[in-house]
Homo-oligomer: A and B are copies of this chain.
Amino acid sequence: MANPAGLPADGVLDLLGLLAYASLTAFFRISDDAALAISLTDKTALAELAVAEFGHFQLLKGRIEELSADPTTVMQPFVAAIDAFHARTAPSDWLEGLVKAYVGDGIAADFYRAVAQVLDPATQGLVQTVLADTGKTEFVVARVREATEADPRLAGRLALWARRLVGEALGQAQRVAADREPLARLLVGGTSSQLGDIGRMFAQLTDAHAARMAALGLAN
């Protein structure tokens, strides 16, 4: 919740650092995964997503600098959790990379929407800008559906993969919430940081995830 002067609440720098490092890492991981694409069209589509993530990073970094903070310092507390997430979820092929990009983009958008409500106006505006730039992953739906129609056994493997992605993401998110008290408090509306509240927020994210899995034609 913004304080009366509209200045960032405690925890906002943490949030910006988390989002900035997540975007920067997404840029590198999606670029890497794009290399797995066979066609130049697919490669380009995934590269565009990577570049969008870098744009988000630059916006978030700019806001951190506006708040007279050092981006590297502000991102540092989240490096271990985000790196661990990616180390545990390296796609073994192109389709796993596509599903990861789609799931990641979707969860990120839900998270941005959820946190926007508790932010000061300037940070909220930034979050809305980033949000307007998500949802570029609709091409993934067609690609995954084509692949699972051609080989129905793929659907089971990709559904399992998507579940693992969300499990790993929530595991790291719990770790971050436990470590960073002001951030956790901010995320539940500035009133408390009960793990139950964080849990409810996560439950909303996983509900939306289930809807995305259905869109992909994958059982959740």
Minimal Cβ-Cβ distance residue in B for A21: B40
Asked whether any CB of chain B lies closer than 8 Å to the CB of A219, the reply is no
Residues of chain B lying within 8 A (CB to CB) of residue A32 = 31-32, 35
Contacting pair A72 B28 (CB below 8 A)? no
Residues of chain B lying within 8 A (CB to CB) of residue A27 = 31, 47
Which residues of A from 20 to 78 have beta carbons under 8 Å from B? 24, 27-28, 31-32, 34-35, 39-41, 43-44, 47-48, 50-51, 54-55, 57, 61, 71-72, 75
Residues of chain B lying within 8 A (CB to CB) of residue A72 = 39-41
Residues of chain B lying within 8 A (CB to CB) of residue A44 = 24, 57, 61
Count of identical protomers in the assembly: 2
Q: Which of A31, A44, A57, A72 has most B Cβ within 10 Å?
A: A31
Please tell me which one of the listed residues B31, B54, B71 contacts residue A28 in the complex, with CB atoms under 8 A apart. B31
Contacting pair A28 B47 (CB below 8 A)? yes
Chain B proximity of A153: nearest CB distance (Å): 30
Measured between alpha carbons, how far is A57 from B31 in the docked complex, in Å?
15
Residues of chain B lying within 8 A (CB to CB) of residue A50 = 31
Contacting pair A28 B24 (CB below 8 A)? no
Measured between alpha carbons, how far is A35 from B35 in the docked complex, in Å?
15
Contacting pair A35 B40 (CB below 8 A)? no
Also in contact, A75 and B28, with CB within 8 A (given A47-B54, A51-B51): no
Chain B proximity of A71: nearest CB distance (Å): 7
Residues of chain B lying within 8 A (CB to CB) of residue A28 = 31, 34-35, 47
Contacting pair A43 B24 (CB below 8 A)? yes
Residues of chain B lying within 8 A (CB to CB) of residue A55 = 51
Also in contact, A24 and B47, with CB within 8 A (given A31-B32, A32-B31): yes
**Top 6 closest pairs, chain A to chain B, by CB:** A31-B31, A40-B72, A51-B54, A51-B51, A28-B35, A47-B54
Given A31-B32, A40-B72, output 13 extra A-B contacts at Cβ < 8 Å. Answer: A24-B40, A24-B43, A27-B31, A27-B47, A28-B34, A31-B31, A40-B75, A41-B72, A44-B57, A44-B61, A47-B54, A51-B51, A51-B54
